């Protein structure tokens, strides 16, 4: 499996059939590289939604100020990124169903094993609302479970097999996205490309490699990445904590800028294209991505810079006509207070994502090619999906 240098997770299936999963604790980056074990669906849910440890009794947290601080920090996510959220949910289920703890006996005792597993999948879907990858991955798995023979062993084997397949497919898709994006950009900028990106869309947001950052990685491997600027990405700082780290590991010619510097950067330094990830792309091309992406798209238009969304097929959601229908997750107030050194108790509005209207988007880079708008400026996502499914 071709991978980047960073591993967002380690998944293994032992000889006795048990699956094991450890996820890179992205909260500890860039200072520390440590992995946390995911033992069941509850751990997977927590790793996606928050890092509140089930081992800690909240009452104990009231004992001292330092512990209270660790509780507030713990509202942040340990793993994130649309593809990785979906993958950890599926792998977490595989681990849960093959573990030695009470799940396996509960499963064997359940009158309807498929129903028992459906409940776990429904629970995983409640972890985060905006990225469609999670819902698509669970739906795909539900179909596999429903089609599997009725024996518990066969159902669990089908889930573990699919989990392994999903990991390999994600890396292959990411590599194809990188190739499509690099080919397209180099057709207009053959000497080299100057990129701007936001949030983290690299190895740390996927099984490995990355989507938008995968395009940068592919350009770099062809010797054609002139430069890449990463927006800090307030308030959770995925750009400064994670993308800057990936840029350094990959030895790209990168520059970190605060979100508020993007206009000045585009004006004074210049760029050929912005490439961003996606959490959901609607039927008309409207795209939900990390908060601040919409701002960047407006700036790109102002300065005549191309603006690309890089997303796997699993992020296209033809069931929603436009971005108005996307549920935008609001994160806890404390995440803004703690990461921004604001006074405790200040009221905050903390949406995790925004929607970039399709009219601001130059093209959507997928593993099946780059979709461009028609002569009227409209994206036909439904047609694209139908042609490539
Ligand atoms: C390949 S990751 C694409 C998107 O999921 C990414 O840009 C993003 O918005 C991540 O948000 P996050 O809140 O960190 O999960």
Question: Distance between CA 96 and CA 118 in Å, rounded?
Answer: 13
The pair phi, psi for residue 367, each rounded to 5°, is: -70, -15
- Concerning whether 12 is annotated as a catalytic residue, the answer is no
Average pLDDT over residues 137-156: 94
Check pocket membership of 131 for ligand 1, CB cut-off 6 A: yes
Region at 354 (left for phi over 0; alpha for psi -120 to 50; beta for the rest) = beta
Homologous superfamily of 9-168: translation initiation factor eif-2b, domain 1 (1.20.120.420)
Q: Where are the domains of the chain?
A: 9-168, 176-388
Of 96, 279, 286, 354, which is the active-site residue? 279
Q: Measure the CA angle with vertex 196, ends 194 and 201; round to 5°.
A: 120
Question: Distance between CA 139 and CA 118 in Å, rounded?
Answer: 10
Check pocket membership of 80 for ligand 1, CB cut-off 6 A: yes
- Sign of the alpha-carbon dihedral angle for 348, 353, 358, 363: positive
**Substitution candidate for ligand 1 out of 199, 278, 291 with most atoms within 8 A of CB:** 199
**Beta-bridge partners for 256:** 230
The pair phi, psi for residue 203, each rounded to 5°, is: -55, -30
Structure tokens at 299: 């700036």
Q: DSSP letters along 226-256, please?
A: EEEEEE--TTTTHIIIIIHHHHHHTT--EEE
pLDDT in tens, 318-336: 999 999 999 999 998 988 8
Tell me which DSSP letter residue 40 carries.
Answer: S
Share of the chain above pLDDT 70, in %: 92
Kindly report the CATH number that applies to the domain delimited by 176-388.
3.40.50.10470
Question: Distance between CA 156 and CA 63 in Å, rounded?
Answer: 43
Global pTM?
A: 0.92
Check pocket membership of 50 for ligand 1, CB cut-off 6 A: no
Query: Which atom of ligand 1 is nearest to 288's Cα?
Result: 9
Check pocket membership of 83 for ligand 1, CB cut-off 6 A: yes
**CA 204 / ligand 1 centre spacing (Å):** 10
Mean pLDDT of the chain: 91
Residue 56 scores a pLDDT above 50: no
Please tell me if the domain spanning 9-168 has the same topology as the one spanning 176-388. Answer: no
Query: What pLDDT does 5 receive?
Result: 67
- Of 29-33, 271-275, 369-373, give the lowest mean pLDDT range: 29-33
Check pocket membership of 198 for ligand 1, CB cut-off 6 A: no
pLDDT in tens, 2-40: 455 689 999 999 999 999 999 999 988 888 999 999 999
**CA 84 / ligand 1 centre spacing (Å):** 9
pLDDT in tens, 160-202: 999 999 999 999 999 999 999 999 999 999 999 999 999 999 9
- Of 46-60, 94-108, 145-159, 203-217, give the lowest mean pLDDT range: 46-60
Query: What pLDDT does 3 receive?
Result: 52
Query: What pLDDT does 4 receive?
Result: 56
- Of 50-64, 106-120, 246-260, 320-334, give the lowest mean pLDDT range: 50-64
């Amino acid at each position: 499996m071709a991978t980047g240098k960073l591993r967002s997770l380690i998944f293994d299936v032992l000889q006795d059939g048990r699956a094991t999963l450890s996820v890179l604790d992205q909260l500890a980056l860039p200072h520390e590289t440590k992995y946390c074990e995911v033992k069941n669906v509850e751990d997977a849910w927590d790793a996606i939604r928050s890092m509140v440890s089930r081992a800690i009794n909240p009452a104990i947290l009231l004992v001292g100020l330092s512990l209270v601080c660790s509780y507030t920090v713990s509202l942040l996510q340990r793993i994130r990124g649309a593809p990785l959220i979906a993958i950890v949910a599926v792998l977490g289920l595989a681990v849960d169903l093959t573990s030695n703890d009470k799940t396996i006996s509960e499963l064997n005792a359940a009158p309807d094993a498929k129903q028992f597993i459906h409940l776990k999948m429904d629970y995983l879907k409640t972890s985060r609302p905006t990225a469609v990858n999670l819902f698509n991955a669970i739906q795909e798995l539900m179909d596999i479970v429903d089609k599997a023979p009725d024996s518990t062993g066969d159902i669990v084997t089908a889930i573990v097999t699919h989990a392994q397949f999903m990991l390999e497919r994600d890396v292959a898709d990411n590599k194809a996205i990188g190739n499509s994006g690099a080919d397209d950009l180099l057709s207009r900028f053959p000497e080299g490309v100057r990129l701007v990106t936001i949030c983290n869309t690299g190895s740390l947001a996927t099984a490995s490699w990355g989507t938008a950052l995968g395009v940068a990685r592919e350009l770099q491997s062809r010797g054609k990445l002139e430069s890449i600027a990463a927006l800090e990405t307030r308030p959770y700082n995925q750009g400064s904590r994670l993308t800057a780290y990936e840029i350094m590991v990959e030895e790209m010619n990168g520059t970190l800028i605060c979100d508020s510097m993007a206009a000045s950067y585009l004006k004074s330094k210049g760029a050929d294209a912005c490439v961003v990830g996606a959490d959901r792309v609607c039927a008309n091309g409207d795209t939900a991505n990390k908060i601040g992406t919409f701002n960047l798209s407006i700036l790109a238009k102002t300065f005549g810079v191309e603006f690309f969304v890089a997303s796997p097929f699993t992020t296209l959601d033809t069931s929603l006509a436009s971005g108005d229908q996307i549920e935008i997750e609001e994160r806890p107030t404390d995440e803004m207070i703690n990461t921004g050194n604001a006074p405790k108790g200040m009221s905050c509005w903390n949406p995790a994502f925004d929607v970039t209207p399709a009219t601001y988007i130059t093209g959507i880079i997928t593993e099946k090619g780059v979709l461009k708008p028609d002569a009227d400026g409209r994206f036909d996502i439904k047609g694209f999906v139908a042609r490539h499914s």
